Structure 1
């Protein structure tokens, strides 16, 4: 099925690290070319260097700013001369209790996780139409936190914004049926995705302590590559067939100790 992706072009937001970079690697390995979007210019340059400038192209932009992501998607489509799909992966999380939520961090999570997905979808639909892909795709990355209550504690805004992504994706899929743009939602559980790099240590430890109280065991064993493979699977479906909602969660039990 991976042969379906040879020489196709996909945009991956949040593509400089974590899930995004793993998805880009998997796409390149399947023969596709990738346009990476991230706020981190240095990270983009490193990712493009790793993937190869003939297979990857990076544009620095904040997905939460409509003009920025619109320009980035247009630039990538122009660079490659075609566009076959978009993977809305960019995400941000900041743990905290509801009482102590910081306005700036609330807005950053909502803008990145939800509005960034909305703006990117708005920007990519006319580009997919203009470039006439024979199997256009949009994949929105959610989180198990949007549905399950045994994920990390104190992530109310992150979980709520990802739940909004899932509801938005349902309407998007219906609207895109007329043009046979396949729309999928992938809901990954816990994996080492680098999303916690910027977390405040004090609030993180408080969230971890609260999470430990909810049960003795945690599920482990899933990697970013597992999520990347799921994205490749969804993109490679034949036209007229779409993965609706695909959830991946780790299954090995480990004491929370």
Structure 2
């Protein structure tokens, strides 16, 4: 990554924990200016104080609220007159049997995972156009590449984020605005707290963020990790017969797990 992030003004949503917090840590270590945004004021304050960096700024932000995201973007851009990188990272999980899915749950997941990204883009893209460039980093998921049973709501939100990034990277390419879409598989973060356990194949958050920032510094359009999951997704997408077999087996396995463990893994 060399000095790619030095002095760049970055906004990271969902910055009080998980990938967002690690992004903030590593960006600060790379001498970037980081505006850390999160809806949880107490957790955000603790995260910011724990970093002990003068170039970290905590901004309590509910990404589902357009006016709050607007204020966040404007504050970051006002620091030295520009916003270099927006990490649209805030998100929540959503794995459950269809019979447990409510309309309120649909609204909550889409408000955070999808509208949170839309709000950031709505205010960051015009600013980046005006300043002559910038970089958008949207966090999708492996579930944004492969439609996985028992993740209907989550897949819907993350597939939409993936589609937005793929469209915009071409639309904005000639304006020096880069768009990177991040597709993580399982990462050891608090998103698994509700399940009461972390999947065995989850990678450490430090490893995940190192992969992300390396891809961003190279201005890559997509980063899919870890490698084993990337190859699995490629096979599922490329071979219909394999997809049918794997997804049916996965659906049955998850149903058994819910019945015996109360969780999908």
Cα deviations across residues 48-104 of structure 1 (Å, max 9, x unaligned)? 112234121111111122222111111122235432110111001233211221222
TM-score scaled by structure 1?
0.81
- 1:213 is matched with none
Aligned match for 1:143, one of 135, 141, 144: 141
CA contact (8 A) 2:12 2:89 kept: yes
What SS does structure 2 have at the residue aligned with 1:50?
helix
**Higher normalized contact order (CA 8 Å, seq sep 6+, divided by chain length):** 1
Offset at residue 146 of structure 1 (A): 2.3
1:244 counterpart = 2:244: no
Offset at residue 173 of structure 1 (A): 0.9
CA contact (8 A) 1:15 1:44 kept: yes
CA contact (8 A) 1:219 1:250 kept: no
CA contact (8 A) 2:85 2:136 kept: yes
Question: Structure 1 160/236 Cα, relative in aligned 2: closer, same or farther at 3 Å?
Answer: same
TM-score scaled by structure 2?
0.79
Question: Structure 1 17/71 Cα, relative in aligned 2: closer, same or farther at 3 Å?
Answer: same
- 1:36 is matched with 36
1:215-226 aligned at under 5 Å gives the runs: 220-226=201-207
Structure 2 gaps, min length 5: 230-256, 258-264
CA distance in 2, matches of 1:58, 1:42: 11
Offset at residue 221 of structure 1 (A): 5.0
CA contact (8 A) 1:220 1:250 kept: no
CA distance in 1, matches of 2:129, 2:54: 24
CA distance in 1, matches of 2:2, 2:15: 20
Aligned match for 1:185, one of 158, 178, 181: 181
Query: What is the count of residue pairs matched by the alignment?
Result: 230
- 1:174 is matched with 170
Cα deviations across residues 149-206 of structure 1 (Å, max 9, x unaligned)? 67xx622211221011101111111221121101011101101111133x3xxxx48x
1:121 counterpart = 2:117: no
CA contact (8 A) 1:59 1:76 kept: no
CA contact (8 A) 2:132 2:175 kept: no
